[in-house]
Amino acid sequence: QEGCDKFCTFCVVPYTRGSEYSRPVENIYAEATNLVNTGALELTLLGQNVSAYRSNILKNMIKKNVSLANLCKILSSLEKLKRIRYLTSHPSDITDELIEEHKTNKKLMPFLHLPIQSGSNIILKKMNRKHTRDFYMKLVSRIKNKVPNMAFSSDFIVGYPGETNEDFEQTLDLIDRVGFASSYSFKYSPRPGTPASLNDKIIKESVSNLRLKKIQSKLLDQQNEFNSKFIDKEVDVLITKKSKKIDQFVGRTPYLQPVHVFSSKNLIGRIFKIKIERLTSFSFHGKILDSLEI
């Protein structure tokens, strides 16, 4: 899927990529089949607003609509495909159907990147995000009720024009209430041609710097807390590439956490059960227990 119809006031995508366009489901299935036949175990569906994916198929001379949930179900029929991911999503486009697919489709990874940008309703409205903080938190709760092991990441912008201390504190409060496995945070910077770039209520650089430092500290604490739960646990890891050290490989857990292991054999493209032994910075180090090859 490409393009976006949301027109967030800080974003250039609708102007540079145009309106939303979804690739035909037949094309995606054909490409996915080719990738799986050549060894791919994991696929990521990409789009500026991938949760708005819409296509259709002709079945018994009747046109049937295909949503992102339907697409994930169709792709999961590829027997050798073991993992499906998608990004990036807009909260307003996460449907009950998609949540239910996460519950029933074991190939859909339990990790959702769900950008909110701010925890303040005032700023969300200025950003034209088309949802409130309450909507976002209730959405997260609905997802967790259906998929208890779901983890979330998000995007945050601090120092948006007109953001007050109270607005920023509401963002920190939302972070505390939701709890994120990982997140991206940025200082606001104007993009030429966007409505926000015309706003003259600019936040001082020194204030934005302090807010960014504070929010990143909180998000890092949450990430460390999330990761620490995996120490001494057994996790399925898909090995994707060689690491910098000799005979060291790196792979990803279902939650996209990097895991390093040593082996004298080539492990790339295989899934292993690995016991997590320690955490350094943002990477796990573990020991291979057995192969989960097909």
What percent of the chain lies above the pLDDT cut of 70?
99
Q: Confidence class of residue 92 from pLDDT cuts 50, 70 and 90?
A: very high
Tens digits of per-residue pLDDT, 3-48?
A: 999 999 999 999 999 999 999 999 999 999 999 999 999 999 999 9
Identify the pLDDT of residue 63.
Answer: 83
Tens digits of per-residue pLDDT, 217-263?
A: 999 999 999 999 999 999 999 999 998 889 999 999 999 999 999 99
Residue that is written with structure tokens 């409505």 in the block: 195
Q: Confidence class of residue 292 from pLDDT cuts 50, 70 and 90?
A: low
The answer to whether the peptide bond before residue 280 is cis (omega within 30 degrees of 0) is: no
- The size of the chain, in residues, is 294
Give 83's strand partners.
42
Give the span between the Cα atoms of 48 and 79, in whole angstroms. 28
Give the span between the Cα atoms of 220 and 226, in whole angstroms. 10
Q: Which of 47-61, 89-103, 116-130, 200-214 has the lowest mean pLDDT?
A: 47-61
Enumerate residues 6+ apart whose C-beta is below 8 A from 61.
Answer: none
Identify the pLDDT of residue 147.
Answer: 97
Give the span between the Cα atoms of 15 and 196, in whole angstroms. 14
Q: Give the relative orientation of helices 133-146 and 96-104 as an angle to the nearest 10 degrees.
A: 30
What is the mean pLDDT of the segment spanning 92-118?
97
Average pLDDT, the chain: 95
Enumerate residues 6+ apart whose C-beta is below 8 A from 5.
Answer: 14, 19, 20, 49, 52
Q: How far is CA 37 from the centre of its chain?
A: 26
Identify the pLDDT of residue 232.
Answer: 96
Residue type, 214: K
pTM of the model: 0.93
Q: Confidence class of residue 294 from pLDDT cuts 50, 70 and 90?
A: very low
pLDDT for 144 beyond 60: yes
Q: Confidence class of residue 281 from pLDDT cuts 50, 70 and 90?
A: confident
What is the mean pLDDT of the segment spanning 43-54?
96
Identify the pLDDT of residue 58.
Answer: 76
What is the mean pLDDT of the segment spanning 160-185?
97
pLDDT for 291 beyond 80: no
What are the C-alpha distances in Å from 218 to residues 40, 63, 134, 170?
A: 36, 48, 21, 13
Tens digits of per-residue pLDDT, 67-90?
A: 999 999 999 999 999 999 999 999
What is the mean pLDDT of the segment spanning 264-276?
93
Identify the pLDDT of residue 282.
Answer: 80
Q: Is 210 exposed, middle or buried (0-12, 13-18, 19+ CB in 10 A)?
A: middle
Question: Half-sphere exposure of 88 toward its Cβ, with a 13 Å CA cutoff?
Answer: 13
What is the mean pLDDT of the segment spanning 266-289?
93
Q: CB neighbours (10 Å) of residue 53? A: 24
